[in-house]
Structure 1
Amino acid sequence: MGLNFRKSFKIAPGVRVNVGKKGVGLSVGGKGLRYSVNSSGRRTTTVGIPGSGLYYSSSSSSKSYKTPAYQRRNELARIQREQKKMQELEYARFQVDLYENKLDQIRSIHHESDDPVDWQEVFHRSPPFQPGQEGPNTSSARQKQQSYRPGFLDRLFNKDEAKMQQLYQEIEKSKLMDQELLDDWNYMHNIAGRILNRDIDAYFEVIQEFNPLDDLVEFGSGFEFGSEDPNVIHVSFDVNAHNVVPQKSLSQTKTGKLSEKNLSKTTYYDLYQDYVSSCALRIARDMFALLPVSLVFVHAYEDRLNTATGYQEKVVILSVKYDKVTFNSLNLTNLDPSDALTNFKHQMKFKKTQGFDEVPLVLS
């Protein structure tokens, strides 16, 4: 049986102090109406009709009273709210970083380029091995086969023959690898000779083989190449700016939340112009690095609605003649891609609030 303790003291008319095992309480009132409050925070109001045996009682807990379980739940909820807020802030920061990185990419496409190809060095490069000799892979595999000495366990379990057979197979595989090395050398030697002899067909072969502009495809541009002069290459590309240039800006508010706003026309078209100009520079840079040409013509096309026919048509919005001497004198890292057009003969009609107009091709 549990031991209970309760004692009540009258300290004033209608006011009593109640001392019990679970705490100390204070009650005010008399028959018919009494209000009690306990040190635990529990509050009780009792209303009744004297002599009738009828009464009504209601209890509540103070908001300041928190059980350990309540405190744990409250702390967990607080932590979850903070984590959610941090996740929202991190997500906002991540999205803004992506946006700013994309802006940097749009303006700096021309910063990256393939390494220049020295076709003289390629042509005079020695073959991987001389005719009639074993290739390096075959020689290495044969040395392993000749130096193999079966151990005690290999002989005990008759694994020496299987091991020797495996080594012979490695020799045959190595012969194929060496043949690939020789085939690659022969191809590069022959194509280098044709390039040095200004074979235009060889130009297109190495463009297809090296695919120098493949990383520009992510910017939504398709390419066509043409040439009738071994000193000149023409490259046409589709702008497709709607897939590349953002129309909204992203930023973080003072509270860290993500803010999205429409770009102004001037800001959007400024990005558009830099994107097109940077692509043109990059194309010229890769062509000069790959081919022994002195001139690169770059023509940018954009899809436009022909209101007379109702069909989309490709129109030229930028045409540039890049000469190698002037191009190599530029500091490509620090220049503004749109401003750099002034160094070359070009056709461009651009308005800050309307963008590009159609222009004729530069062909000479």
Structure 2
Amino acid sequence: MGLRFYKSFKILPGVRMNVSKSGISWTLGSKAVKLNTGKRGTYLNVSVPKTGLSWRERLDKKDNKKKASTKVETLKQNEDYKEIIEQYKKENDFIINLHKYADNVVTKEDFINHLNEVEGDSLKNSLQLVIDGDKNTLDALIENYINSIELPYEFKIEYQVEDSVLFIDLDLPEIETFNSQYPALSSSGEMVIKNKNQNTLKQQYSQAVISLAIYLAANFFNLTPFIERIILSGYSQRRNKDGDLIDEYLFSFKFNRLKMETVDLTSINKPYDFILNFENRINLSTSFNFKAITPYQLKENSSDNEDNSYLNEAIQGLKNLGYKSTEINLIVDKLKPLNLSSTDEYLKAALIELNKIK
């Protein structure tokens, strides 16, 4: 068996030079839509990730080499094209609405109920460590989850846990890695590949990365009820005035567990509008251009935690008294500005507010 020599060099985003014994060829496009040109001709390759569906056609073949097709073959080909287009739409929807594929955030009560249901001391002890936020257990949960994530684009996560707050630094996928083309049927029933206009591409990219942030926040909350807040900041590599690549933060969000517990993620059709319900730093123009922002910092939150420690303890006290997260969430915003000096004072104020809404 002879060895096959093949090497691929990335020249620009979406452009690769392929070197083999048969010569040099070029590949343009994304994983789903590729254009390959070399001495053997120019081919269009369309594949749908995770489906096994693919389609390949030579674009530069001469008319006298075309074979006649029967009506049955044409109909079958059109059905195949439609299936590829439909699968492409599903894949694209998955990317821009990723949050809908995350489980809704569960409450601490759900964890405790599960603890009471499981059998075996070893399993109970392990689950108790999860609920209590044991450092080693928490690190193992977070790192295992990060390593298990499989999405159709590259990103990087760094994290830090401070008290009950999880800080996430998210290196976002670049817009160049998103499909700038899509398959469609022409009026004659042939498969054609069209280019997305820049506005559509930027709109889909902005929705995709915000959706990614919501997706990650929900999944991190579901690892342990110990995490009460998540501060997630996303950044990307962009060129400055001198042409140098630098990291610029595009958004920074403060996710509150109590609010997230009340949300049906599948009902979120506009991730940008949803994220405005939380403390945020994001500057997205009407033409879907992200402007650089300054993210929330660890020190900022440390002072916030000191100021709100009594409130956090009061909230936990309400949960221990049997109040549901949906009820507590209705009064939290009213308690924050009070600046009370003890947990008992916050608890009394909370009970007064809860009685008002009954």
Question: What range is the shorter-chain TM-score in?
Answer: 0.5 to 0.7
Alignment deviations for residues 241-262 of structure 1 (CA, whole Å, 9 cap, x no partner): 4365321233222332223322
Q: Which runs of 4+ in 1 moved over 6 A?
A: none
> Percent same amino acid among aligned pairs?
18
Q: Which runs of 5+ in 2 are unaligned?
A: 1-66, 302-358
Question: What residue is the counterpart of 1:179 in the other structure?
Answer: none
Q: 1:87 and 1:220 mapped to 2: Cα distance?
A: 36
1:100-111 equivalences under 5 Å are 100-111=89-100
Q: What is the alpha-carbon root mean square deviation over aligned residues?
A: 2.8
State the SS of the aligned residue for 1:111.
helix
Contact 1:322 1:344 in 2 (8 A): yes
Question: What residue is the counterpart of 1:58 in the other structure?
Answer: none
Question: What residue is the counterpart of 1:256 in the other structure?
Answer: 189
Range with greater deviation from structure 2 (292-301 or 349-358):
349-358
Q: 1:298 and 1:269 mapped to 2: Cα distance?
A: 21
Aligned length: 226
Q: Which amino acid aligns with 1:198?
A: G
Please say if 1:297 is aligned against 2:235: no
Q: Which amino acid aligns with 1:120?
A: I
Contact 2:99 2:265 in 1 (8 A): yes
Question: What residue is the counterpart of 1:319 in the other structure?
Answer: 252
After superposition, the Cα gap between the structure-2 partners of 1:84 and 1:313, relative to the gap in structure 1 and judged at 3 Å, is farther
After superposition, the Cα gap between the structure-2 partners of 1:217 and 1:311, relative to the gap in structure 1 and judged at 3 Å, is farther
Question: What residue is the counterpart of 1:197 in the other structure?
Answer: 132
Question: What residue is the counterpart of 1:334 in the other structure?
Answer: 267
Please say if 1:268 is aligned against 2:173: no
**Which residue, out of 291, 296, 302, partners 1:362?**
296
Please say if 1:96 is aligned against 2:85: yes
Q: 1:197 and 1:331 mapped to 2: Cα distance?
A: 26
Q: 2:172 and 2:287 mapped to 1: Cα distance?
A: 18
Q: 1:216 and 1:260 mapped to 2: Cα distance?
A: 27
Contact 1:122 1:189 in 2 (8 A): no
Range with greater deviation from structure 2 (243-252 or 271-280):
243-252
After superposition, the Cα gap between the structure-2 partners of 1:325 and 1:121, relative to the gap in structure 1 and judged at 3 Å, is closer
Contact 2:133 2:224 in 1 (8 A): no
State the SS of the aligned residue for 2:155.
coil
Question: What residue is the counterpart of 1:120 in the other structure?
Answer: 112
1:200-279 equivalences under 5 Å are 200-209=135-144, 211=145, 214-229=148-163, 231-242=164-175, 245-279=178-212
TM-score (norm 2): 0.56
After superposition, the Cα gap between the structure-2 partners of 1:207 and 1:191, relative to the gap in structure 1 and judged at 3 Å, is farther
Q: Which runs of 5+ in 1 are unaligned?
A: 1-76, 128-184
TM-score (norm 1): 0.55
Q: Which amino acid aligns with 2:203?
A: D
After superposition, the Cα gap between the structure-2 partners of 1:313 and 1:84, relative to the gap in structure 1 and judged at 3 Å, is farther
Alignment deviations for residues 4-54 of structure 1 (CA, whole Å, 9 cap, x no partner): xxxxxxxxxxxxxxxxxxxxxxxxxxxxxxxxxxxxxxxxxxxxxxxxxxx
Instruction: Report the CA distance between 1:218 and its aligned residue.
Output: 2.9
Q: Which amino acid aligns with 1:200?
A: K
Q: Which amino acid aligns with 2:251?
A: L
